[in-house]
Amino acid sequence: METESTLRLITDGACRGNPGPGAWGAWLRQSEHERVLWGYAPQTTNNRMELDAAVQGLQALKRPSQILVRSDSQYLIKGMTEWLAGWQKRGWRSAGGAAVKNQELWQALASLAQTHQIRWEWVRGHAGDVENEAVDALINRVLDRFAGAVQEASGEGWL
């Protein structure tokens, strides 16, 4: 249940090409306080950027919190709510026996999630959700600004 003290973490990630140049964004909101984080990678995948947005947002927190994580990535949401326990039980193997892709990011998320009380919520992307659209616009600005860059970049603020 969301209360006034619940921190909202809105995340998004994208690539231009997959793999290709990618960006992630994380918008932390609680009451009148907010913090916006973003990052760029010259060669990555969409799924890595979706996961990195959540990792970076959760790593930015200074103390255990009650959090609502909102994302348009079913990969992130289903991974954390449906698949994670099975992967851990099978030694980071999928149901088919293959190594779980992006394992280091999933492990980071699993560790961070133990610190907080988190509710994971999927939101349809590009469907008019104000928070999702704002973070999507941010990551597109990051991609526009760093297009062609060969090094990773990260920062804070709306750009």
pLDDT 10s digits, 23-47: 999 999 999 999 999 999 999 999 9
72 is in an annotated binding site: yes
Residue type, 18: N
Give the 3-state secondary structure of residue 37: strand
Q: CA 156, CA 25: separation in Å to the nearest integer?
A: 9
For the annotated catalytic residues, the residue numbers are 12-13, 50, 72, 126, 136
136 is in an annotated binding site: yes
pLDDT at 4 > cutoff 80: no
Give the tens place of pLDDT for each residue, 91-106: 999 999 999 999 999 9
The answer regarding whether domain 7-156 maps to CATH 2.160.10.10 reads: no
50 is in an annotated binding site: yes
Give the 3-state secondary structure of residue 44: strand
CA-nearest of 75, 43, 41, 74 to 56 is 41
pLDDT at 64 > cutoff 80: yes
pLDDT band at 5 (very low <50, low <70, confident <90, very high): confident
Mean local confidence (pLDDT), 6-20: 97
Percent of the chain scoring above 70 in pLDDT: 97
Q: CA 156, CA 45: separation in Å to the nearest integer?
A: 22
Q: CA 22, CA 133: separation in Å to the nearest integer?
A: 17
| 21: Cα separation from own chain's centroid | 16
pLDDT at 128 > cutoff 70: yes
144 is in an annotated binding site: no
Q: Parse the chain into domains and list their residue ranges.
A: 7-156
